Amino acid sequence: MGSLEGSVAVVTGAGRGLGAAIAKDLAAGGAKVVVNYSRSKEPAEGVVKEIESNGGEAVAVQGDVSDPEQAKSLIDQAVEQYGKIDVLVNNAGITIDKTMKKMTPEDWDKVITVDLNSCFYTFKAAMEHLIESSGRVINISSFVGQAGNFGQANYSAAKAGVIGFTKTAAKEMARSGVTVNAICPGFIETDMFADVPEKVVEERIIPMIPLGRIGQPEDVAKAVRYLVVDGDYITGQTLNVNGGVYI
């Protein structure tokens, strides 16, 4: 792609955390950004205002991308607003952490639907637009999808599925010049991570990380921008942004 100037990016789950950082970073590079949210209307509108205050262009669009019809509506609204889609970042995700002994089928299905199925729904809806622009797709997975984690069977399965989906999508889209890659963050300082007790972070988690710190959302955002701008010959790959917690 070479430059974000004039491009259009759709970022799911962009009202806060990783998605917000990714949206702001892409906008800073010159992209027009569709800031998708499911329930976080005010935070998403806040992201848009921050982008606009820095001279960028963005719009907040509501849509639960775990529903195929709403995922299609998101893509349709993005094209209606900006005329095309060059970049799709599948970031929407949730956790419902329980041991398998306590996990219900509903707990399993909800996480799989939001964290994995949504990637297919948005991708399917955006395929033709991405082909027209020789676009870029970035799917946010997790090191937990590579390593597994106690009490996260549903999340681990979903994020592992994202990696497999990425590889197949990359093979199918290569003939059209569309690249598809995944990013596996480690422990990142977001709202999702905020519930972890400080004592656990200091005594158990940080000692696991060779670089000795929790990652920032901007660490992931920079990796997304790299794959979009400079990743012309990178596809079907998994980029680990994890401080060395899983090698």
User: Does 246 qualify as catalytic in the annotation?
Assistant: no
In angstroms, rounded to a whole number, what is the distance separating the alpha carbons of residues 14 and 20?
Answer: 5
Instruction: Give the count of beta carbons closer than 10 Å to the beta carbon of residue 108.
Output: 17
Residues in CB range of 206: below 8 A, 6 or more apart: 212, 213, 214
CA-closest candidate to residue 155, choices 136, 142, 164: 142
DSSP 8-state class, residue 185: E
Residue ranges with strand state E in the chain? 8-11, 32-37, 57-62, 87-90, 136-140, 179-185, 238-241
CA-closest candidate to residue 141, choices 161, 125, 112, 170: 161
Instruction: Point out the catalytic residue in the list 37, 82, 121, 155.
Output: 155
To which residue do tokens 């892409």 refer?
A: 26
Alpha-carbon torsion, ordered 106, 118, 169, 30, to 10 deg: -150
Report the catalytic residues.
155
